[in-house]
């Protein structure tokens, strides 16, 4: 009888733990997929432009050209900013030809944006001094470990066995 009472007491104490909790209250409107990534991207772009302005040491006489450049770049990428927060196109359920057509459309759209940015860069680049052009030549690939050609410059990293652990081809090749 004592065991029965202990078991009943244990079950009574554990019952609240097994009860289902009510669902959480609904949240406010969600910004949509990619909205946070868009804010991060916009912040990185602003930082990149500010850093480029400082590293290029844009003179007072070049400020107008710099302003035209930044306006042209912001105008070129505006279609991408307009898409921020919109749900992505659901491609998984689509047949392969349809998926490829959507991908082709996106690639064409990105090519138009790239061409607009390229024109803005060419206009600004012509107004830079040779020293500034040398700095500009390295700005666009600052984030790639191996540089534009994918080969790491400087000392290579090796693991304890002497095996190549960095980017580019292994030593001796």
Give 34-88 as a 3 state SS string: CHHHHHHHHHHHHHHHHHHHHHHCCCHHHHHHHHHHHHHHHHHHHHHHHCCCCCC
Residue of higher predicted confidence among 27 and 29: 27
C-beta contacts of 59-63 below 8 A and 24+ residues apart: 62/127, 62/128
Per-residue pLDDT of 32-48, as tens digits, reads: 555 556 777 778 888 88
Q: Domain ranges in the chain?
A: 34-40+48-139
Lookup: tokens for 6:
């202990």
Which residue, among 81, 85, 16, 5, has the nearest Cα to 45 in the 3D structure?
81
pLDDT at 152: 47
Encoding tokens for residue 164? Answer: 């190549």
Q: How far apart are CA 52 and CA 73, in angstroms?
A: 13
**pTM for the complete prediction?**
0.58
pLDDT tens string 104-120: 998 999 999 999 999 99
> Whole-number mean pLDDT of the chain?
74
Greater confidence (80 vs 10) lies with 80
């Amino acid at each position: 009888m004592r065991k029965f009472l202990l078991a009943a007491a244990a079950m009574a104490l554990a019952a609240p733990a097994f009860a289902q909790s009510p669902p959480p209250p609904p949240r406010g409107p969600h910004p949509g997929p990619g909205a946070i990534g868009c804010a991060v991207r916009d912040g990185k772009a602003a930082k990149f432009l500010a850093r480029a302005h400082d590293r290029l040491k844009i003179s007072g006489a070049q400020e107008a050209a710099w302003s035209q450049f930044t306006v042209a770049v912001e105008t070129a990428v505006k279609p991408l900013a307009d898409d921020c927060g919109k749900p992505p196109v659901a491609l998984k359920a689509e047949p392969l030809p349809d998926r490829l057509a959507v991908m082709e459309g996106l690639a064409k759209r990105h090519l138009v944006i790239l061409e607009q940015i390229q024109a803005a860069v060419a206009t600004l680049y012509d107004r830079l001094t040779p020293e500034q052009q040398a700095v500009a030549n390295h700005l666009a690939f600052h984030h790639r470990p191996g540089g534009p050609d994918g080969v790491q410059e400087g000392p290579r990293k090796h693991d304890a066995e002497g095996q190549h652990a960095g980017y580019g081809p292994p030593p001796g090749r």
